[in-house]
Chains A and B, each alone.
Chain A
Amino acid sequence: MTARRSEAGWLAWTAPALLVLGALSIYPLLFAVEISLRTAGGYGLDHFRRLAADRLFLVSLGQTLLYTAAALALEFALGLALALLVNREFRLRRLVRAVLLIPMLLPPVVVAVLWRLILNPEFGVLNGTLRGWGLETRGLTWVAAENTALLSVILVDVWQWTPFLFLLLLAGLQGLPVEPFEAAVVDGASRWQVFRRLTLPMLRPVIAIAVLLRGMDLLRVFDQIFILTQGGPGFATETVTLYIYRTAFRFHNFGYAAAMSFVLLAATTTVARAFLRLLRQQPA
């Protein structure tokens, strides 16, 4: 076989995958550009101009960023704490790790239904239990009132996705070399000093990867909010993905929906590029 024919042969192995990706990932993206530029009289930037003046879009964008930042911070802090706690020798360690991973594997729709039932202010088990203890639950409206809804959907996200940060950070901790820590103990470093000066800096690459991956997913959040609140009450929990979905499939304005989705794409691309850059730096 000549070298050239063999090269072509190797490329042929990738052909089915590339064809499917071309037809169902790349082509739709280009098609979306075309849809977003369609206007009544031909092509133009009308939809993009409308974006800047659409208060609801700006509100949903702001809430998406707030949701992402708050959930990410909570999930990271909790995930790191749990990872540090599990990164010790104790009985039942494997079982505890396995249990803590469960939520992130479950269908987000089911997780949302579960919490919708639990958090129901009148009939839910959470307020029911608190009332059973003689506590006042009138202010605990959870997803049912405008002022508590966003915080509640964030907490549900934290329940489901802290395990993701926990698992990656735990793997990172277990991959750290032992020698620096032994040396630090010999030098008489305090536990806090070891954590601050050794653990955190050495864990940085894993932290970056975990936070970027989770951040990318948070920006596109849809399932849980769709079930828990549908973006309401009012627009208290409206996010960009939800607004795009509604614009396209309730109000049938495909062009405007496509234009909005490119704002989300731009935000995600920034995060994705940072992730890919980290991946490239790794030894293969």
Chain B
Amino acid sequence: MNKLGKLGGTAALAVAVLATLLPLYWLATLSLKREVDQFAVPPLWVSFQPTWAHYSDIFVNRNFGRYLWNSAAAASVSTLLALAMGTAAAYSLARRPRPGLAFWILSTRMFPPVVSIVPLFLMLRWAGLLDSIAALMLLYTAFNLPFVVWMMRGFFQELPPDLEEAAMMDGQTRLGALWRVVLPLVRPALAATAAFCLVIAWNEFLFALIVAQTDQAMTLPVGIAGRVTQYEIKWGAMSAAGVVAMLPVFLFAALMQKHMVRGLSLGAVKG
């Protein structure tokens, strides 16, 4: 490629990187600025006196500790449940292929969630589970299950069955062989799948919005939404809440690593 073209490409990438990072950096600065500095013209990018007041404000006065806990509980419990049930089903579908059933399971993932919000709301109300974190744990489990089944089935298919059969010759049960021989081999895949489930549950908004009636079952996204749709927005507090809600996602992303393409494309593109 000629020199000019190369330079143009580098410049375009630099713009893309800046366009990605500047808004995030700005949110972080807003969360650390005193109110007088938030709306300064020209904007203050680096030189302002930082304060942690907004962070203590959201946790002490605005109940965000509760939302944080709710988000963490709903995401982690639903991920564990989806992994346990999904891995078992995936293993079965990998060793005794039933393509029809596997595709049917995947297709349940493709319904727009809004189709089920009315029936689910009525079902939860009937079961007395509205405004409870248990409801979100159940809904996210069901939402992530097809994904786990589909992904783990693909990973299991790549392992030769001889492995666990040898272990079973040695007197292991099938469950024992799965637990001691197969699962350790797919640990990175399992971690990536778990990370996807965590991100999806952590970021989810629509189900969380219909389940939560009070602070008791609000997750971070619902807690944030409830405060920005009012007329007056507390910029510092909302920025701090946004930063808190973002941080765990970076951790989950590190777990996905090389399986990210496969997960995002439901196995259709090999990364």
Contacts and interface: CB of A to CB of B under 8 A. Distances in A.
Interface string A91-109: 0000010011111011111
Residue in B39, B110, B122 with the greatest tally of chain A CB atoms within 10 Å:
B110
Interface string A181-206: 00000000001000000000000001
Contacts of B157: 284
B27 A107 contact: no
Nearest to B223: A109
A114 B16 contact: no
Nearest to B254: A98
Contact of B252 (A18, A102, A105): A105
A222 B139 contact: no
B118 A164 contact: no
B112 A117 contact: no
B21 A216 contact: no
Contacts of B30: 117
A276 B103 contact: yes
B81 to A, nearest CB: 8
Contacts of A132: 41-43
A168 B39 contact: no
A82 to B, nearest CB: 6
Nearest to B99: A280
A272 B107 contact: yes
Would you call the interface of chain A mostly helix, strand, loop, or mixed? Answer: helix
A56 interface: no
Contacts of A103: 20
A17 B145 contact: yes
Contact of B221 (A102, A209, A223): A223
Contacts of A244: 114, 117
Contacts of A230: 229
Given A31-B123, A264-B114, A268-B112, A108 B205 contact: yes
A222 B202 contact: no
Given A105-B199, A171-B271, A280-B103, A31 B92 contact: no
A50 interface: no
Contacts of A220: 112-114
Contacts, number: 261
Interface string B226-247: 0011000101001100100110
Residue in A81, A269, A284 with the greatest tally of chain B CB atoms within 10 Å:
A284
A264 B108 CA distance: 15
A134 to B, nearest CB: 11
Given A29-B111, A159-B23, A99 B17 contact: yes
Interface in A219-263: 219-220, 222-223, 226-227, 230, 240-241, 244-245, 248-249, 254, 257-258, 261-262
Contacts of B142: 20-21, 23-25
A282 B115 contact: no
Contact of B265 (A24, A32, A209, A276): A209
Given A25-B108, A114-B242, A264-B114, A210 B265 contact: yes
Contacts of B112: 219-220, 241, 261, 264-265, 268
Contacts of B1: 191
Interface in A75-127: 81-82, 85-86, 88, 90, 96, 99-103, 105-110, 113-118, 123, 125
26 contacts: A10-B95, A21-B145, A25-B142, A28-B120, A85-B9, A88-B9, A99-B17, A107-B203, A107-B220, A108-B203, A110-B224, A113-B228, A117-B30, A117-B233, A117-B238, A118-B26, A123-B235, A128-B42, A128-B43, A171-B261, A226-B225, A240-B114, A254-B118, A257-B118, A261-B118, A275-B268
Given A18-B89, A114-B23, 8 more contacts: A17-B149, A31-B123, A107-B203, A107-B220, A113-B228, A117-B238, A168-B261, A222-B114
Interface of B: 1, 9-10, 12-13, 16-17, 19-21, 23-24, 26-27, 30, 38-39, 41-43, 84-86, 88-89, 91-93, 95-96, 99, 101, 103, 105-108, 110-123, 138-139, 141-142, 145-146, 149, 157, 199, 202-203, 205-206, 209-210, 220-221, 224-225, 228-229, 233, 235, 238-239, 242, 245-246, 249-250, 252-253, 260-261, 264-271
